[in-house]
Amino acid sequence: MIERIVIIDSVDPLCFYGVNNANMQLIKNLFPKLRISARGSVIRVIGEDRETAEFETKIKELSAYAERYNTLGEEVILDIVKGDAPKERKADGVIIYGINGKPISARTPNQARLVETFSANDLTFALGPAGTGKTYIAIALAVRALKNREIRKIILSRPAVEAGEKLGFLPGDMKDKIDPYLQPLYDALEDMIPAVKLKEYMETKVIQIAPLAFMRGRTLNDAVIVLDEAQNTTTHQIKMFLTRLGMNAKMIVTGDVTQIDLPRSTQSGLVQALRILKDVEGVGRVEFGKKDIVRHHLVQRIVEAYERHDAEVKATRDADTPDSEI
């Protein structure tokens, strides 16, 4: 009799073991001659050498499946343990599989273009109105690169610009004040990475979420770096951010140039960067429109209504401006 220890630290334990350890109980039933115990990411098995070796092989196959698809069901366990290949899941256009095996893929032509542009360039600008999925797809691409071990970390950032609210009036310390600005980034990650694994990544700084000001002085290697809401950066801030790009790293910069919350006297760094980097090799650009909005159908109507309003205001202002002032 020998004892083997199998480590499954690349997969979320809840996903692997199942609710109320249902998956683990099934695995134990399929290996009745072995004594099996599991705690956290460590599985111990005692038995004959050949049977424990087979058990280790099957556990690693199950772990690889769970890591890829973020789900592990009874049918898959039976197929893998019996030596049958599990049924192939449709993977057309799938970027990654999110929580409970939900496929995350490009849902519009421009989202698909963002996936292609990211692969072809080290710096990609994704521009467009709210609800077009540009940030969500950007984070999915970063998570895929991490899962494929193409990079060692993900860095997500936003400028903490006050859009009507005042930081000083928010409760708590600086982290508590800043976190509401970063919440959309947390929301996307929670869709894609199981909670236990996400917490581990955050604690070990494999995934870092920080305000833009925290980027100064860093060189970011072996990473995918996403800057969200870049229209609210100043010209100095975006130059500082873009020059953080290190070796084996990629950047995605997202923004909506129609939603600038900076003071009127301050130029948007994103607008300037788009102009300066227009013809630079290795810089890609994808522009989203109203047709790419994938939120509630009412969001598209709201965007269109505001565009009509802005056009009417501009027309009225131009009509009131004397020719000598134009």
pLDDT band at 25 (very low <50, low <70, confident <90, very high): very high
- State the pTM of this model: 0.81
Q: What percent of the chain has pLDDT over 70?
A: 91
The count of other CB atoms within 10 Å of the CB of residue 218 is 15
Q: What is the DSSP string of 34-71?
A: SEEEEETTEEEEEE-HHHHHHHHHHHHHHHHHHHHHS-
pLDDT given at position 293: 81
* pLDDT tens digits, one per residue of 66-101: 998 999 999 999 999 988 877 777 667 899 999 988
CA-to-CA separations, 313 to 115, 190, 290, 303, in angstroms, rounded: 37, 40, 20, 15
Which whole number is the average pLDDT over 107-111?
92
| Token couple for 93 | 């256009």
Whose structure tokens read 């950047």? 251
Per-residue pLDDT, averaged over 133-138, amounts to 94
- As a whole-number percent, the residues of the chain with pLDDT over 90 amount to 57
SS3 223: strand
| pLDDT over threshold 60, residue 108 | yes
Q: What is the DSSP letter of 178?
A: H
- Residue 326 confidence (pLDDT): 46
Per the prediction, the chain carries an average pLDDT of 87
Contact assessment for residue 125 and residue 285, using Cβ atoms and an 8 Å cutoff: yes
Q: What pLDDT score was predicted for residue 175?
A: 58
Query: Is pLDDT larger for residue 250 or for residue 264?
Result: 250
Question: In the β-sheet with 250-255, what is the strand arrangement from edge to edge?
Answer: 207-211, 153-158, 223-227, 250-255, 123-127, 283-287
Give backbone dihedrals phi and psi of 100, rounded to 5 degrees, phi first. Answer: 60, 25
Q: What is the CB neighbour count within 10 angstroms for residue 78?
A: 13
Hey, is 78 helix, strand or coil? helix
H/E stretch holding 211 reads strand 207-211
